[in-house]
Chain A
Amino acid sequence: MSTTVATTVPTRSTARRRRVRLPGGVALALLLVFVFLSVAGPWIWGHAAGDTNVADANQAASGEHCLGADDLGRDLLARTLYATRSSLVLAVLATVVGGVVGVALGLLSGASHRLGKVLGAVINLLMAFPALLLSIFFAVLFGIGSVGSVLAVGASFAPGFARITQTLTASAVSRDYVEAARVLGKGPVTVVLRHVLPNIAEPVILYTTIHIGTAILALSGLSFLGLGVQPPAYDWGRLLSDGLTRVYITPTAAIGPAVAIVLAGLTFNMAGEHLADLVGGRRRAPRTAVAAATARPSTGTDVRPAPPVDDAALTTTDAAVEPLLEVQHLRVLYPGPDGGVVTPVRDVSFSVAPGETVGIVGESGSGKSMATSAVAQLVEAPGAVHAEVLRFDDVDLTRRTAEDERVLGRSMAMIFQDPGEALNPAVKVGTHLVEPAVVHLHQDKALARRRALDALRAVAVNDPERRFDQHQHELSGGTKQRVCIAIGLMGEPRLLIADEPTTALDVTVQRQILRLVAEVRAETGASVLFISHDIAVVSEISDRILVMYAGFVVEEATTDELLARPAHPYTGLLLAASPDMGADRSRPLPMLDGRMPGPGVDLPGCYFAERCPRAEQDCRDARPPLLQIGAPGHRAACWHPLTGTPSTATATGASGPADERTAP
């Protein structure tokens, strides 16, 4: 067994487009400064801002007056600082007015079917006008002065608030919990107050914060135009307006308030965005954690050496045949939520012989999809793949070259659970089939088209000529899945990876697709790796089945052997828990409460022990290795299997696992 640990670090560049942005701390610090100024400003500078001194009238910047003085000799710096309170208070008031009116309109139009259309049209109409135009219009309507300008700016904000609230509400009312409340007989007001409003509050509050900055600019604009605050009261907009008349003589008189406006606007915008980042970006985890774990595997979550695996487990049941795909001690790592590392795939070893169909069964969270993604080289940054051996045909997947990738592209085909996601909605069906052949294999276009039509015929798509020119939305789910299989057939597939390909399909269509996969395998001689949560589906198509649990392969056997003599208690439960058409209806189903340990959990023993009816203390202390039990090729990772005993297995070949055990 090789001792070197090969690592596949995803090559895709991790650099992302990023906006240039100051750290959030700067915005918050500035925010605090503005809050302080608006609270304390008038006390500290109230005197200086009001003191007239005719001698200093219209003075330029000097040691005494940093920004100069106005026509009555009042200090402009003091007046700018003093005006912080009125500017900010008016801005907050305007935003609150806009928010309250807008949210109320939005809730009404989002929650009510009848009012929705009319109000939606009104909101759309108002959104069509520039906000400044609206606020000037409303300012004239509501009258000139502080109150008028606050109402005007609020009114011009309302459509924006209404729109975002309407969108959020419309999506919130279609949630099942809102419908559940309606079924319970709750009235519309109760539903809105209890379920809708709390669930849309977060984005609305963020939107509000960002808009305070905009309100400062809008109110200053109105004051500048003379529509806002009237003398003797003043805000930054008035100061700017006054200063601008002598901008060529004493420019500081205009620059001071201008800087204050811009800075305040920026601060609230940045603070809002920072807040949005904090709320929306919690899940963003540092990438360095996985890099570190990749460099030093011994410091990752999984500190123990990989459990020993019966060497025979690494070959197929027929040892004479060189396997097409060989995987030994595969691990997949991702950065965890709190800077740690999670391992969705902890230890997976298996092989697939040419022409063989291997099924992987597991529940959600078992790591079955992630393990096959690693085989298909689809694990992207920040994930990382470890394996002692990861070999496809004669390509070492842990250190593949560009040439290898071309080979892989032709000889590995993959179909997914949702074929609609796999097909580009903007591209015709035919293009999906033809393009790889033309671009990568440099085939003649006409030839590629002929082959594509043949492939569509091979997967029994009816009327292939017409389908060739259609888009994916014109196809049914079953036909889409057929097209995906046809795309795979365009190369020379030697391995077809099918990841829950029938889960989203109806039962009659599922049967058709299963049969198609079986036919494709029979005709092309390709191997199939078939992943599903449904052991019945897997057992119908597979020669051999792997059962996965919490990132481990816990059992492996030929299909007939596994169904007849399941050894791992988990396999036994999977087989018994799901009623079949012959289930005894008079008895309750065998069941299993609790949940699978997540990818961030690190246990010394068996990961199934907590839910296992047969678990004893030794199961919690030491992890059982995958050992042969009973028939050749039947392996299970269990200290207390349902059939056979691991001790007979240690005798049949595995070297050493017995000394791993701490309890008899």
Chain B
Amino acid sequence: MIPALSVQDLTVRYGPVTAVRSASFDLRAGSVLGLVGESGSGKSTTARAVVGLAPFSGTIRVGDADASSPRSRAAREARRRVQMVFQDSRSSLDPRFTVGQCVAEGLPAGERRDAGRRIRELLDLVSLDEGLMRSRPGQLSGGQRQRVAIARALAARPDVLVADEVTASLDVSVQAVVLNLLRRLQADLGLSMLFISHNLAVVRYMCDDVAVMFNGRIVEQGGVDDILGRAQHPYTRSLLAAVPEVGQHRLLSDTAIEASAASSPAPGPGCDYRLRCPVGPAVDPGREVCSTTDPGPGAEARVHLAVCHFARERRDEPAAAGTGGALA
């Protein structure tokens, strides 16, 4: 089956900074792929490249169409089938537009004639009252605004929806509304979704597959239960161990999550993560290979990939403390 979105060797450079380095992933049709990582890991830049907001090198295919070239008509048509919902609905909706105008903006040229009916349909799809059509974004709550943004993206009849931290600026009570809505839409419309989030619990709830990014690279990817339940890359395990959990008093008891609080990736050859790695040379000086050799994508199949010299040895151990029970 052709993936809904296929990204090969994606590299994004901003001047001297390489924000994304040779990222490759497939989004299976009708599935949700989570992209996780810390700030600066390149997950949002990847999303922006996919929708054509960031210049990139590499190949992006939407279904069977090539969307890589920035200017060709075919690529533009292909990119229209990938729509995006942004993190902050306050800034992603033009404050001067009404809700109706915001949604209408997403309609393809052929559907403008019957815009009123289609807008009402879309508002109904995202469970918004059509009485809000003449309201302005400033009059709506955060959850309502985010639903308008989703309706606008759906108006373009996309195959792929890119959701970039869509609930990060919402309160938890409203976050649930948006997450439930996205799940329902994904199931009802058969959408494929690239779901970017720093919240692993939300990713676990929403996604079928997960790709973990660190310093512009995908360091681990696979099925959600494989990645979150049987993580092999030490970075993924650190992320999992750090997830705050209701009712866990383990601040003073748990062991170090990472070897150091170094903020920038390690310079020179070798693994980017080695300064912080809890199983790397910072802890175990015998592991020189981490400082001398860049761990390329291993020989693992694409089913579960982990870019780490010592990923394999931890394979059969239980998952990181505190999450094992929850995931079992």
A507-B242, A518-B252 as given contacts; A577 in contact with B172, CB under 8 Å: yes
Give per-residue flags for B168-189: 1 if the beta carbon is below 8 A from chain A beta carbons, else 0.
0001111111011001100000
Q: Which residue of the partner chain, among A508, A518, A537, contacts B238 with CB atoms under 8 Å?
A: A508
Q: Are B205 and A579 in contact (CB under 8 A)?
A: yes
Residues of B within 8 A of A533 (CB): 171-172
Residues of B within 8 A of A563 (CB): 246-247
Categorize the interface residue count of chain A: 35 or more
Bound complex: CA A568 to CA B183 (Å): 28
Residues of A within 8 A of B264 (CB): 476
Q: Does A273 interact with chain B (Cβ within 8 Å)?
A: no
Q: Are A511 and B246 in contact (CB under 8 A)?
A: no
Q: Are A185 and B76 in contact (CB under 8 A)?
A: yes
Q: Are A581 and B326 in contact (CB under 8 A)?
A: yes
Q: Which of A126-134, A425-433, A441-449, A584-592 contacts B (4 or more CB under 8 A)?
A: A584-592
Closest chain B residue, CB of each to CB of A199: B96
Bound complex: CA A157 to CA B101 (Å): 36
Give per-residue flags for A645-657: 1 if the beta carbon is below 8 A from chain B beta carbons, else 0.
0000000000000
Q: Which of A23-31, A175-183, A295-303 contacts B (4 or more CB under 8 A)?
A: A175-183
Q: Are B84 and A183 in contact (CB under 8 A)?
A: yes
Q: Does A541 interact with chain B (Cβ within 8 Å)?
A: yes
Residues of B within 8 A of A195 (CB): 94
Of B180, B247, B248, the most chain A CB neighbours within 10 A belong to B247
Residues of B within 8 A of A589 (CB): 176, 179-180, 205
Q: Are A177 and B91 in contact (CB under 8 A)?
A: yes
Q: Does A406 interact with chain B (Cβ within 8 Å)?
A: no
Q: Does A560 interact with chain B (Cβ within 8 Å)?
A: yes
Closest chain B residue, CB of each to CB of A172: B94
Bound complex: CA A535 to CA B173 (Å): 12
Q: Are B86 and A478 in contact (CB under 8 A)?
A: no
Q: Are A460 and B80 in contact (CB under 8 A)?
A: no
Bound complex: CA A226 to CA B241 (Å): 81
Q: Are A506 and B198 in contact (CB under 8 A)?
A: yes
Q: Which residue of the partner chain, among A537, A579, A611, contacts B244 with CB atoms under 8 Å?
A: A537
A199-B96, A507-B38, A593-B143 as given contacts; A577 in contact with B176, CB under 8 Å: yes
Of B82, B246, B247, the most chain A CB neighbours within 10 A belong to B246
Q: Are B92 and A540 in contact (CB under 8 A)?
A: no
Q: Are B200 and A507 in contact (CB under 8 A)?
A: yes
Q: Are A591 and B38 in contact (CB under 8 A)?
A: no
Q: Does B318 interact with chain A (Cβ within 8 Å)?
A: no
Bound complex: CA A537 to CA B180 (Å): 23
Bound complex: CA A364 to CA B142 (Å): 11
Q: Which residue of the partner chain, among A194, A460, A522, A573, contacts B252 with CB atoms under 8 Å?
A: A522
20 extra interchain contacts, Cβ-Cβ under 8 A, other than A179-B86, A476-B263, A534-B172?
A177-B92, A183-B53, A462-B261, A478-B261, A507-B200, A508-B239, A510-B242, A511-B241, A512-B258, A518-B252, A533-B171, A534-B244, A539-B246, A540-B248, A540-B251, A577-B176, A588-B183, A590-B176, A592-B177, A593-B174
List 28 contacting pairs A-B, 8 Å CB cutoff, sorted by A: A176-B91, A177-B92, A179-B92, A182-B52, A183-B84, A184-B152, A198-B94, A363-B173, A478-B261, A479-B261, A507-B38, A507-B200, A507-B243, A508-B238, A508-B257, A510-B242, A511-B257, A518-B252, A519-B252, A533-B171, A540-B245, A579-B179, A579-B201, A581-B323, A589-B180, A591-B176, A591-B177, A593-B143
